[in-house]
Homo-oligomer: A and B are copies of this chain.
Amino acid sequence: MTTRRERLREATVREIQEAARRHLRAHGPAGISLRAIARDMGMTAPALYRYYASLNDLLAAMIESYKAEIGEALEAARDAVPADDLGGRLAAAARAFRRWALDHRPEFTMVFGAPPPGYEPRAEGEIPSAGGLGVVFFTLLTDLWRRERFPVPADEDIPAGLREQLEHFSTSCGLDRADLPLGLIRVFVGCWVRLYGLVAMEAFGHVHFVLDDAEPLFEAELAEVSAMLGITRPLPPGHSPSASAAQNAAS
């Protein structure tokens, strides 16, 4: 049973988070200040210490909640594609990840940029995954592998140092080693690195030195990865037909 106090407290926490998010969107990660949040709420800054031990704690809580929301966004995008079209589901989730990053650059920076000094991604028991985030892609890959049996490196082809760690991850996740080969985890990590790399480069603006619109590259990489995973379908929708070829030769 939730007491009245608890409900009020919960509502206040939500209001704090909403105000913090507003400031994040408006002024970036460095623009989140306790005093500004309190001002928005018609309170004074020290009152916020009843809810968070410090600004850093508030930021950490924001990161966690954004992680959860990214996971939900990915799952929603995945579930919008028929369950038998695993390739389409993977593409949808990958595109959703990129979309979220580009539509929420400050938020993405908080979650996937350099963490504030002293931040620890709360290693609660659960599944030791990227906050239930990489797990979306991982389960898609495992399902895909079970169906398509796309080629993965054999155990003995994985360097020993890497193999040990993949084994550790596999057992600590409670995976069935007989069912899912280490090579599959190896492939997953490789795909995740490519996805993260491209999306992070784009979100952080490090891709303009060669491209001014990274979407075609993203789609090409996605197609390449998909091919690697035995997905042959033509990757249904998702990329607009290069509708913006203007503003190229501008000084």
- Mark A residues whose CB is within 8 Å of B: 27-30, 105, 109, 112-117, 121, 128-130, 134, 158-162, 164-166, 168-169, 185-186, 189-190, 193-198, 200-201, 203-206, 208-213, 215-217, 219-221, 223-224, 239, 242, 245, 248
Contacts and interface: CB of A to CB of B under 8 A. Distances in A.
8 contacts: A114-B204, A130-B206, A160-B216, A162-B219, A164-B248, A165-B217, A168-B248, A193-B201
Contacts of A242: 160-161, 164
This protein's copies in its complex: 2
Given A28-B117, A128-B209, 17 more contacts: A27-B117, A30-B30, A30-B116, A109-B113, A113-B113, A113-B204, A114-B205, A115-B205, A159-B216, A160-B216, A161-B213, A161-B219, A162-B219, A165-B217, A193-B197, A194-B197, A200-B200
Given A193-B221, A201-B193, A209-B129, A245 B162 contact: no
Contacts of A115: 204-205
Nearest to A203: B114
A210 B209 CA distance: 31
Contacts of A134: 209-210
A223 to B, nearest CB: 8
A251 to B, nearest CB: 10
Contact of A164 (B198, B210, B245): B245
Most buried by B among A210, A212, A248: A210
A134 B105 CA distance: 24
Contact of A169 (B27, B113, B211): B211
Given A130-B209, A197-B196, A206-B130, A220 B113 contact: no
Contacts of A30: 30, 116-117
A213 to B, nearest CB: 7
Contacts of A185: 210
Contacts of A109: 113-114
Contacts of A190: 221, 224
